Amino acid sequence: MGRANDSTFSGFILLGFSSRPHLEAVLFVVILIIYFLSFLGNGTIILLSILEPRLHTPMYFFLSNLSFLDLCLTICTIPQTLVNFKEKDKTITYGGCVAQLFIALGLGGVECIHLPIMAYDRYAAVCRPLHYMVIMHPQICLQLVIIAWLIGFGNSVVQTALTMTLPFCGKNQVDHFFCEVPVMLKLACVNTFINEAELFAVSVFFLVVPLSLILVSYGHITRAVLKIKSAQGRRKAFGTCGSHLLVVIIFFGTLISMYLQSPSSYSQDLNKSIALFYTMVTPLLNPLIYTLRNKEVKGALRRLVGRTINSREN
């Protein structure tokens, strides 16, 4: 059997955690709960950012876009995973695998560009407050987000094409719960050294460079915060920055461990666990850490609920 256009090719089998059926039952419940909470949290952020005029600021514009990215990522990966946990037939069509690979890779790439943009927004707010609305003009914010989406999905087109045009020679058992570049490279029946080298170079651009820019931005923010005379103000600022950095380190740390190593050296069980964390836990943490703890968001949520209750009573 050659490539996917062979007449006998029926798609790929996503093995997931089928070697541990007892684990699948537990994971189904846990992932379903995480999916619901993530959908609720990110959906709430998007809704509030649209309906609440006080949240029509650059920071919440970026945060709502981050929530949209996380929402799309969970929709792209989790439903298929849940179905595979419950069904004996774990097949995904070739087209479905290509679509999943393209969308997940694109969304991940966009988020890698988007997070340093958010860090720069915080840098401008803390270190350049008098020029903030000029630096982060709404038109500039929109342009930055569009650029992030174009770069992320532009890269995804290239990576998906390079990966899915490889000959698989009948190998169709994907030892993962969704289609992902390193795992698909392991199925190829040709030497993938060039693909791996290209993937490594691209991963450095999307992971190491953005993470470095974020750390530089937060370095400047830390220096500015240390100049604050109020101890309470310093604690609040450090608490916010620390929680943001925690999310960033978790996000980039998981991706770096997945992409900045040779696919041949992967421990598949470890890789699957890391991928679960990246696709499910991070989208759940983002709304909790970035926004739902904020007084502005809590106030906006109370006002929205209050308006909804009043409209029903009237």
**Per-residue model confidence as pLDDT tens digits over 12-21:** 888 887 777 7
Q: Is the pLDDT of residue 178 over 80?
A: yes
pLDDT for position 85: 83
Percentage of residues of the chain with pLDDT beyond 90: 37
Q: Which residue has the tokens 């650059």?
A: 58
Mean pLDDT of 35-54: 90
pLDDT for position 307: 74
Most confident of 55-59, 233-237, 286-290: 55-59
Q: Is the pLDDT of residue 224 over 90?
A: no
pLDDT for position 98: 93
Between 243 and 213, whose confidence is greater? 213
With a CB cutoff of 8 Å and minimum separation 6, the contacts of 216 are none
Q: Where are the domains of the chain?
A: 12-294
Average pLDDT, the chain: 85
Query: Which pLDDT tens digit goes with each residue over 70-102?
Result: 999 999 989 988 888 887 778 888 899 999 999
Q: Is the pLDDT of residue 53 over 50?
A: yes
Task: Note the pTM of the prediction, 2 decimals.
Answer: 0.88
Between 269 and 35, whose confidence is greater? 35
Burial class (CB in 10 A: 0-12, 13-18, 19+), 169: middle
- Which pLDDT band holds residue 250 (cuts at 50, 70, 90)? confident
Query: Which pLDDT tens digit goes with each residue over 125-173?
Result: 888 889 999 999 999 999 999 999 999 999 999 999 999 998 988 788 8
- Which pLDDT band holds residue 112 (cuts at 50, 70, 90)? very high
Mean pLDDT of 259-282: 75
Q: Is the pLDDT of residue 7 over 60?
A: no
Sheet holding 91-92, edge to edge: 91-92, 12-14, 173-174
pLDDT for position 279: 86
- Using an 8 Å Cβ cutoff, are 255 and 108 in contact? yes
Mean pLDDT of 8-36: 82
pLDDT for position 143: 96
pLDDT for position 292: 63
Superfamily of structural domain 12-294 = Rhodopsin 7-helix transmembrane proteins (1.20.1070.10)
Q: What is the 3-state secondary structure (H, E, C) of the chain?
A: CCCCCCCCCCCEEECCCCCCHHHHHHHHHHHHHHHHHHHHHHHHHHHHHHHCHHHCCHHHHHHHHHHHHHHHHHHHHHHHHHHHHHCCCCEECHHHHHHHHHHHHHHHHHHHHHHHHHHHHHHHHHHCHHHHHHHCCHHHHHHHHHHHHHHHHHHHHHHHHHHHCCCCCCCCEECCCCCCHHHHHHHCCCCCHHHHHHHHHHHHHHHHHHHHHHHHHHHHHHHHHCCCCCHHHHHHHHHHHHHHHHHHHHHHHHHHHHHCCCHHHCCHHHHHHHHHHHHHHHHHHHHHHHCCCCHHHHHHHHHHHHHHHHHHHC
pLDDT for position 260: 80
